[in-house]
Chains A and B, each alone.
Chain A
Amino acid sequence: MELTNENVLGKIISEFGEANIWDAMNPDGIMTITTNRESIHGLIKYLRDDKELQISFLTTMAGIHYPGKGDQEMCMMYQLHSLRHNYRIRIKVYMPANDPVLPTMTDLYATANWMEREAFDFYGFKFTGHPNLTRILNIEEMEYHPMLKQYPLEDQTREDKINTYFGR
């Protein structure tokens, strides 16, 4: 079976229901769907184990922060790839900033270990069931998650640069 966005989406919706899969988009040729925290682990397991789909390669994970969006403030993006069918899919999960908790994918993909640690380090996502959820690139003593949009890139109290000229 050749995988197309339509038949993959059809299969996913028939498995998980319209209530759990929404906002199917195609921004750049890669189908992007949104799901909830309850379904994400089951969905990724289903995509990996289904005999027809075989979407069994976790390409990357990326956190995204949308300040002031309420329940949609934090977003976790999973991008998966079926090497057999050369088909990519992107899955997003949104959650409020005060409760960025997700189930871990380390039991499905060994590579999720450091990807999740990176997401924790930079965005403060917490992955329940992760074997060692500690900071990975930043120092352990750091008290905040630096990729969140409220933290400016540079020290805003600096006066030796005229930032308006360069838009920093």
Chain B
Amino acid sequence: MATENKTAELTELEQFRKDHGLAIKEERQLTTLNLGPTHPATHGIFQNILQMDGEIIVDAVPTIGYIHRAFEKIAERRPFYQITPLTDRMNYCSAPINNMGYHMTVEKLLGITVPKRAQYIRVIMMELARISDHLICNSILGVDSGAFTGFLYVMQEREHIYDIYEEVCGARLTTNMGRIGGMERDLSPKALHMIGEFLKRFPKVWAEFEKMLTRNRIFIDRTTDVGAISAERALSYGFTGPNLRAAGVDYDVRVMNPYSSYEDFDFEIPVGTKGDTYDRFLVRNEEVWQSLKIIEQAYKNLPEGSYHADAPHYYLPPKQDVYTSMEALIYHFKIVMGETDAPVGEVYHSVEGGNGELGFYLISDGGRTPYRLHFRRPCFIYYQAYTEMIKGGQLADAILTLSSLNVIAGELDG
């Protein structure tokens, strides 16, 4: 994969560097290393063309867009409810957060207020999704630094989370969970039992995982001061979520702009100090505990009531009514065929996704589809800092930095 610069290739390489705006020190012989697009250590399809001075990275040119699927364009031609499956495929490690962020955006446009019970169910599902997201990120970080065991151990817990998804909505990875106006069904007794079991079992597993890495000398040596970014640079680069909090800024959408009843819950926002890989690991670890705390509170205080809003124009009627009642049949037909017009409006709504502020900017011109739907994808925004973060470090550290940033290719390319 590594190609040594030979004299015969110099002109071509020089041209390449010129095209890509690379600064090359002439007195040193540099190696061009092609990391990706399909490299096993990058956990996704993105390419980095690195300029190496021995083991030290001098410069990097990231290329992205390998799995771009034009969601913003597709969304302009789809009725509102058909856009939810597109959001699944952005950050597929925490699909329910994307689904519900999108639903809340449309509800904001339509002026629908969702009952408390539905909001609490959403919180439970979103926090489960956050746990599964952080769990993957942190355990993969262990794999990339040479500790495979923890990954397989906590992966089983992700399976249990996916089993809960399956019980709640029928799908596991790309969940398409909930509807505009609430949840598609109430939490079944089985689902409640599974969540209760998860709350009992998971803290022990996560404590063991933490014990394996947090005070592990090898892991600390490998991650401290690796891929560090200061709070000022992180803010300038538009960092949000755990990566920003690791740099010491306590910005969390759940606290600053509470949605879906997050103001009801008591939880803390962990922040780091240095913004390096170890801090990002610690922040995510602690966020898992905080998510558990939120789920426990929501699970204990789950209010009675309806699991969806009374919004017949947008919320599908129960199937048995469709067969027996005229109104239900008409609404069902109109919703499924996408014949319901949305009001004219312009809304921005953001949720705290697994990786940061996941925003939806929606303009409606009063038609059946959005006029414009823009996704603020946190991965896309902070991945551009990657070059700056790995410069001057070693190649093995660049891999760890990439893992700890939790760059999800689906969200990156949109």
Please list the residues of chain A having a beta carbon within 8 angstroms of any beta carbon in chain B: 27-28, 30, 32, 56-60, 62, 64, 77, 79, 83, 86, 88, 90, 109-111, 113-115, 118, 122, 131-132, 136-139, 146-147, 153, 167-168
Q: Closest residue to A112 on the B side, CB-wise? A: B238
Across the interface, A131 reaches (CB within 8 A) one of B21, B238, B256, B337, namely B21
Closest to B385 in A: A110
CA distance A28 to B70 in the complex (A): 26
A86 B413 Cβ-Cβ under 8 A: no
Interface residue SS majority, chain B:
mixed
Closest Cβ of chain A to B60, distance in Å, is 13
B125 at the interface (CB under 8 A from A): no
Q: Are A167 and B368 in contact (CB under 8 A)?
A: yes
Q: Mark B224-244, 1 if CB is under 8 A from A, else 0.
A: 000000000101111000000
A146-B73, A147-B72 given; A32·B346 CB < 8 A: yes
Chain A residues with Cβ below 8 Å from B337 are: 167
Interface residues of B (CB under 8 A from A): 21, 64-65, 68, 70, 72-74, 76-77, 79, 108, 233, 235-238, 249, 251, 256-257, 337-338, 345-348, 350, 357, 359, 361, 363, 368, 371-372, 374, 376, 380-385, 413-414
Interface of A, helix, strand, loop or mixed by DSSP: loop
Q: Give Cα distance in the complex from A83 to B359, angstroms.
A: 16
Q: How far, in whole Å, are A90 and B21 apart by their CA atoms in the complex?
A: 33
Residues B384 and A167 in contact, CB atoms below 8 Å apart: no
Tell me the nearest residue of chain B to A135, going by C-beta: B65
Given contacts A79-B348, A83-B249, A90-B348, contact A60 B359 (CB under 8 A): yes
Q: For the complex, what is the distance from the CA of A105 to the CA of B181, rounded to whole Å? A: 38
Output the nearest chain A residue to B345 by Cβ-Cβ distance: A27
Question: Which of B68, B357, B380 is within 8 Å of A59, CB to CB?
Answer: B357
Q: Tell me the bound Cα distance from A168 to B21 in angstroms.
A: 42
Cα distance A18–B414 in the bound complex, in angstroms: 38
Choose one: B72, B233, B350, B376; the contact of A110 (CB below 8 Å).
Answer: B233
Indicate if the CB atoms of B374 and A60 lie closer than 8 Å.
yes
A146 vs B413: C-alpha distance in the bound complex, in angstroms?
A: 15
